[in-house]
Amino acid sequence: MAFTAPDSFTTRPTLQGTFGMSASTHWLATATAQAVLERGGNAFDAAAAGAFVLHVVEPHLNGPGGDMTAVFATAENPAEPTVLMGQGPAPAGATPEHYRALGLDMVPGAGGLAAAVPGAVDGWLTLLRDHGTWELADILAFAISYARNGHPALARVGSTIASVAELFTEHWPTSAALWMPDGRIPEEGEMLKNEAYAQVLDRLIAAATQGTVTSREARIDAARTEWRQGFVAAAAAAFTQIPHRHSSGADLAGVMTEADFAGFTAGYEPATVLEFRGYTIAKTGPWGQGPALLQTLAILDGFPDDYLDPSTALGAHTILEAQKLSIADRESYYGDSNVSMDSLLSKEYAAVRRAQIEEHASHEFRPGSLPGHTVFTPPLRIEYLPPVLAGNAEAPGRANGSDTTFAGVGEPTVLDTGETRGDTCHIDVVDRWGNMISATPSGGWLQSSPTIPELGFALGSRLQMTWLEDGSPSTLTPGKRPRTTLTPTLVLKDGQPVAALGSPGGDQQDQWQLLYLLRTIVGGYTPQQAVDAPALHTTSIPGSFFPRTWTPGGAVVEDRLGEDVIAELERRGHLITRAGDWALGRLSSVVRDPHTGVLKASANPRGAQGYAAGR
């Protein structure tokens, strides 16, 4: 084997069975999805039910006011990977001119001006209508129960609320009323309730069941209409236009309107795909960061196997350098626009980029040259990470106004302004019929903007991923989608889906997924071995989250990578930050062998929160 042999110890087994498998970032979502499978639902019913539970039990990582993307394949059409697009666009009033007139030079990281039109709920309801089998009331029953009757709070929910407690009490009183009962921070295990959101879901069910609508699909569409054109849109639009504190430090009004809500519908798109070592890797289009993973694989495909092993200095260096090149292209060319992925994924272009990888680490921003396109160079704001994240490798870093920032590790990096460096949730499901889905819900964090009291949730902050500068394919533009970091993955072999995977982590999502793909496809690791193996990522890229900084030559590694490997990476010029032994990545996956029908699942041990289940 060209790869380093995997550790025989794993934190948990790779689950195996033939009935169905679920994996997610929270055990209650996984249990919900598995319960749906056990009661005869398919993978899409299960994923939708689990996702609505994630809105309730991981409110610091996602919410109904946020967004989602998924990539899936059905048992009827297994060779056609499809993207479920639940990423809403910028509102009609969200123009660079308006933001500059308010004295802003960037889209804020928190507050209503950072909100894209919410897309998550319409996305899940669209999937349920077209590919599910269950009634809406049955799907939502799990989330309603947890919202109304309570669920044990995660420790990180409390620590996130603590990070923004002053913001809540002084500027966002509706958030303090919901998330700081009696003026205090919820403790781990304390029962959290959200009656307002339970009532929102009740009203969607009522809209679906009133009148003479007879088909399941029409009932779900009635709920979608109520969400987009009814009480939710009215309450959200009215509330966000009240001036409130933003991460810029100013009290400003948002621009979301009821018409913005009504104008968005979720939908489907063909996946962007790449063939790699006999497998088809399926991702979103360039309105997401997903094709950067495909570009990285295209570059790496030209190297021998020993250059692709993340556990060696040669492999880690090669992977980091390839990622820098691909993500530079992401910054220069990706957006809700007409970039040619055929050109960016061509063997000829990959060969040109591959030749730019040298023995020593690059500290430069190096997008490629794409005919017919002008290179956009974003403002490059440098920020150096500490060499060691002391004390707790999963701590949020620059929380409470301290001077250091550590992006993409563990839970969101939250400032006392509400600014978040980004994290999210993930869920994967495969059923006994061969339906498979990988989905990444995010946005609408409890710390993203003030809670809308009638609804029990906040709007998201995805517009912080746009630029106010002209000339970028992701310049803030009304009606256009911000280039999202949400990037689920589906893997196919011989026209059959064989794996669904994903991870939270902002800009690190695809970097950690790349390690899993290399270790399972090239290295022969089992799913759980790949999840458990030491992780790393580059920070030598412009960040997608406010304040959009980068660390030239920066790389973050788990200490388990080994002293010799880390020392060699430093010799090659990488500016290494040690994150601790178990800090990077929150991967989960489900796997199916089309020949035997055997199903597998894995989940992340880091943070003691992710869980897989199945039989």
Q: Per-10-residue mean pLDDT for the chain, 615 residues long?
A: 86 97 98 98 98 97 97 98 98 98 95 97 98 98 98 94 94 98 94 98 96 89 97 98 95 98 97 98 97 98 97 98 97 90 96 98 96 88 75 32 37 58 86 98 95 98 94 95 96 98 94 98 98 96 87 96 98 96 94 97 93 98
Buried b (16+ CB within 10 A) or exposed e, 219-252: bbbbbbebbbebbbbebbbebbeeebbbbbeeeb
Given this model, what pLDDT does residue 389 score?
Answer: 58
Given this model, what pLDDT does residue 536 score?
Answer: 96
The answer to whether the bond into 547 is cis (omega within 30° of 0) is yes
Question: Who's near 432: CB < 8 A, 6+ residues apart?
Answer: 18, 19, 20, 597, 599
| Cβ atoms 496, 430 nearer than 8 A | no
Helix or strand run (H / E) with residue 300: helix 290-300
Helix or strand run (H / E) with residue 444: none
Give me the residue label for tokens 């819900």. Answer: 441
User: What is the sign, positive or negative, of the torsion defined by CA atoms of 516, 521, 523, 529?
Assistant: positive
**Domains in the chain, ordered, with CATH?**
15-275+396-614 (3.60.20.40)
Given this model, what pLDDT does residue 608 score?
Answer: 87
Predicted structure pTM score: 0.95
Given this model, what pLDDT does residue 372 score?
Answer: 85
Query: Cα–Cα–Cα angle for 76, 495, 345, nearest 5°?
Result: 125
Given this model, what pLDDT does residue 326 score?
Answer: 98
- The length of the chain is 615
Given this model, what pLDDT does residue 421 score?
Answer: 54
Tokens of 499: 């794996």
| Cβ atoms 298, 273 nearer than 8 A | no
